Amino acid sequence: MDSVSDQELIEKYKRGQVQAFNVLTWRWQGRILNFLYRYLGNITDAEDICQTTFLKVFQKLKHLQDTQKFSAWLYQIALNQARDYFRRKKRQSVLSLNQTIGNAADDTLEAILADDSELSPDHDLQQKEMQKILSESLQRISEDQRVVIIMKIFENLKFSEIVDILKVPEGTVKSRLYTGLKSLRTVLERSHLGKEVWKS
């Protein structure tokens, strides 16, 4: 079923073909897990919320009217589950940013945000360390800013898709992205990454 569209899989599932839902889960669970990990900052929590998300999808998918917006609907469920998790959790452990990050001053913001698959083996160790710092730093900015940065920078969603997920105007999304990146820059500089990281 690899060549079958999400919309076709949804229709198959609505007709009682559970295997179609399994294919949808296989197709999307990696992206949703990555999104939740960056949002929550904890892989164990992200895995739990990811399972809860797809359980909700399994329960509600038959009622989805506009199947063309399945991906936005899926991210919305994941985000709501993550927000519910934060509301339930009484205390959040604050992760220390006092990390030794080697030659971070020689890296650019683009390198920090790059996908691991694009890096040469010589940079793997440093990149993992940088990604850890970035993940922790994302937890230090506002939730509104963090979710937009993750959706746009990491998930590569279109502004129109983010609008559908968050139910806010496009101008608001762009404003949160701009101010969020400024906030993230400040946090990263305070964690000793240095202003050199932000050179173009």
Q: How far, in Å, CA of 120 to CA of 29, rounded?
A: 26
Res. 57: pLDDT tops 90: yes
pLDDT digits (tens, 9 = 90+) for 118-144: 445 555 666 677 777 788 889 999 999
pLDDT digit string (tens) for 3-56?
889 999 999 999 999 999 999 999 999 999 999 999 998 899 999 999 999 999
Name the band, by pLDDT with cuts 50, 70 and 90, for residue 164: very high
Domain coordinates in residue numbering, the chain: 6-88, 104-198
Q: Can you give the pLDDT at residue 137? A: 87
CATH number of the 6-88 domain: 1.10.1740.10
Residues 13, 24: contact at Cβ < 8 Å? Answer: yes
pTM above 0.85, yes or no: no
Count of C-beta atoms within a 10 Å radius of residue 20 = 21
Computed on alpha carbons and rounded to an integer, the radius of gyration of the chain in Å comes to 18
What pLDDT score does 115 carry? 47
Regarding the domain delimited by 104-198, which CATH topology (the fold level of the hierarchy) does it fall under? Arc Repressor Mutant, subunit A (1.10.10)
